Amino acid sequence: MKSIKKILKVYLILIILGLILFKISKSYIVTTIIDTIFFIGLIRYFNLNKKEKGIMLTFIAILMILLALDIENYFEVYQKLCYINTYSIYPEIILDILSLLNLPFCGAFEILYKYDMFNFKFYIIPIYLLIIFGISTVTNKFKKISA
């Protein structure tokens, strides 16, 4: 139960940070880098072990893959912030929930969209998450600096 609370705290902080960065930043590359750095920093701060990181990254991967299946409608909602009467495989409420939960990592989708790499999205998303897992594992091995 304690690990679930830590995971939820990290994710809630990431969603709040994502909302702030969504309003402030215009560069999606910078937003993705800042979100990734904060994500790794929060993992280190809350001292998540490998199992907890695995659970969290699996949850994020599932969200990202669900959105990648209906990426065209996701971008219409995300970019225009209104509903277009197009066909979606998800009901509107599910798309809203998925969009909100994926807010800290929407920059990764924007990079895929801008650089026209959608054909490789099912390869790039897991590689991105594995890189985050690897970096966070390496940074957890460093000693914490006591203040």
Q: What are the tens digits of pLDDT across the range 53-72?
A: 888 888 888 888 887 777 66
Q: Which of 79, 67, 54, 82 is nearest to 118 (CA)?
A: 67
pLDDT bin (cut points 50, 70, 90) of residue 115 is confident
* Residue 82, pLDDT score: 46
Contact present, 133 and 54 (Cβ < 8 Å):
yes
**pTM of this structure:** 0.76
Read off the tokens for 96. 């809203």
Please give the Cα distance from 118 to 52 (Å, whole number).
29
